[in-house]
């Protein structure tokens, strides 16, 4: 149990590629922080610098107030779970989990109780005498977690632990990690490229791109008030609709005009626009697919659109449509909201009308791609 503090951390590889730029983050004791971003964004590198597997080019990493830059991984009191599990193939599951305890020269009876205890929590007691190759992916991942668990370390690091599992198992293990976190009650740093994992697991999410932190915040914060276009598009699935449009100001009220429609910006967004006195002009408008409204008949403030792809997800439909100006939109509609007849009419090329409410819009600067409101 410990805090982790990264100050101006930078990673420059030998070939002068800068993988991480000026990374600053304060992770509180017992906090669950998720680093998320596309591949190559530096999230794993940052985690590996905390672990001591990667040299820190500049800046400092502190664990529990102690600068650990020059400490070997074994002296940092951390535990780590790897993407490919990294189980020792020549050892049984028991020996795998006991490895670190044996290196600490603990008495065998203490090791036995720790290992069996961890195995019980993870439900792998029956496999303790098996070799890793005789286990399924999910079981291997549990062993890897068990190996990290028994160390009672200050910080628990996880590097994409679920990305080698199939989708169903991944959901199940995600829930198990939440339970595990409650049991261990320690500081977690979790790396993933999957925004769903980030949203469901993290107390705070660190969104990274090209070695730069884009935003740090709670799942609600990054979802509702993305600081820039990248965060807005990265968080949420399907991704946010983004279109170029004109922001018009009339009598102190703001309107957007995508593809001929004229929709008033209402609610908090409207107030913020006025408060910040944002100038009229071209903006990038963002609307999440679940905030889109679908109509089958023409209607005021609605854009005419044609259906291109209809993805049936079960409980909802993802409709990919394009408007006359060529802009593409995704509309997420709960299946239950549609009549059988309406569902049947959703064939390629079908004429639809789409709009959205005034309070759900996001605005970004077309040049800097920064959120105009936050």
Partner 1 sequence: METKSMKQHMGIRAANTISNTIIHVLLIIISVIWLIPFVCIVLQSLRVESTWQVGYIIPQKWGLDNYRNLLNTNFPKWYLNTLITALVTAALQTIIVLCMSYTLSRFRFKLRKPLMKFMLILGLFPGMLTMIILYRVLKDLGLTQANAVPGLILVYIASSGMGYYVSKGFFDTIPKSLDEAARIDGATRAQVLVKIILPLAGSIVIYTLLTAFMGPWGDYVFASYISFGNSSGMNVAVGMYNWLTPDQINNNYTMFCAGGVVVAIPVVILFMCLQKYYVEGVTGGAVKG
* Tokens encoding 243: 């279109």
CB nearer to partner 1: pick between 26 and 54: 54
Among 15, 16, 72, 277, binds partner 1 (CB under 8 A): 72
Please report, as residue ranges, which positions from 88 to 107 form the binding site for partner 1 (by CB under 8 A).
Answer: 88-90, 99-100, 103-104
Q: Assess 69 for contact with partner 1 (CB under 8 A).
A: no
73 binds partner 1 (CB under 8 A): yes
Does position 238 interact with partner 1 (CB under 8 A)? The reply is no
Q: Which of 12, 71, 86, 338 binds partner 1 (CB under 8 A)?
A: 86
Does position 129 bind partner 1 by CB under 8 A? no
Q: Which stretch in 47-55, 204-212, 221-229, 366-374 sits in contact with partner 1 by CB under 8 A?
A: 47-55
Closer residue to partner 1 (CB): 11 or 332: 11
d(CA 197, CA 161) in angstroms, rounded, equals 11
Contact segment (CB under 8 A) with partner 1 among 72-80, 223-231, 263-271, 310-318 equals 72-80
Region 154-213 residues binding partner 1, contact defined as CB under 8 A: 164
Of the candidate spans 3-11, 46-54, 242-250, 282-290, the one that interacts with partner 1 by CB under 8 A turns out to be 46-54
Q: Does 126 bind partner 1 (CB under 8 A)?
A: no
Give the binding range for partner 1 (CB under 8 A) out of 80-88, 113-121, 268-276, 346-354.
80-88
The distance of closest approach from Cβ of residue 287 to partner 1 in the complex, given in angstroms and rounded to an integer, is: 39
* 110 makes contact with partner 1 (CB under 8 A): no
Interface with partner 1 includes 16 (CB under 8 A)?
A: no
Q: Which residues bind partner 1 (CB under 8 A)?
A: 14, 51-53, 72-74, 78-80, 82-90, 99-100, 103-104, 131-135, 137, 140, 147, 151, 164
């Amino acid at each position: 149990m410990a805090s982790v503090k990264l100050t101006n951390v930078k990673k420059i590889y030998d070939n002068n590629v800068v993988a991480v730029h000026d990374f600053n983050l304060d992770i509180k004791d017992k906090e669950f922080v998720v680093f998320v971003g596309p591949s190559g964004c530096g999230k794993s590198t940052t985690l590996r610098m905390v672990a001591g597997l990667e040299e820190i080019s500049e800046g400092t990493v502190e664990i529990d107030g102690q600068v650990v830059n020059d400490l070997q991984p074994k002296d940092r009191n951390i535990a780590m779970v790897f993407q490919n599990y990294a189980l020792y193939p020549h050892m049984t599951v028991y020996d795998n989990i006991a490895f670190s305890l044996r290196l600490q020269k603990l008495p065998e009876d203490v090791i036995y109780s720790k290992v069996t205890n961890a195995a019980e929590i993870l439900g792998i007691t029956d496999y303790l005498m098996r070799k890793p190759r005789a286990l399924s992916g999910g079981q291997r991942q549990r062993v890897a977690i068990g190996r990290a668990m028994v160390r009672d370390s200050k910080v628990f690091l996880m590097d994409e632990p679920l990305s080698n599992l199939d989708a169903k198992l991944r959901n199940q293990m995600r829930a198990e990690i939440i339970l595990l976190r409650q049991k261990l009650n320690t500081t977690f740093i979790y790396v993933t490229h999957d925004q769903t994992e980030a949203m469901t697991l993290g107390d705070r999410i660190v969104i990274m791109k090209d070695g730069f932190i884009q935003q740090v915040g709670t799942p609600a914060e990054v979802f509702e008030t993305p600081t820039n276009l990248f965060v807005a598009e990265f968080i949420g699935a399907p991704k946010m609709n983004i279109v170029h449009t004109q922001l018009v100001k009339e009598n102190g009220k703001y309107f957007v005009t995508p593809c001929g429609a004229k929709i008033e910006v209402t609610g908090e967004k409207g107030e913020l626009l006025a408060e910040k006195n944002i100038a009229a002009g071209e903006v990038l408008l963002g609307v999440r697919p679940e905030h889109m409204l679908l109509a089958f008949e023409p209607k005021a403030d609605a854009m005419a659109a044609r259906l291109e792809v209809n993805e049936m997800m079960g409980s909802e439909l993802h409709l990919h449509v394009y408007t006359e100006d060529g802009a593409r939109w995704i509309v997420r509609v709960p299946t239950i909201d549609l009549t059988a007849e309406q569902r049947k009419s959703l064939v390629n090329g079908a004429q639809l009308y789409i709009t959205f409410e005034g309070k759900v819009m996001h605005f970004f600067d077309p040049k800097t791609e920064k959120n105009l409101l936050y």
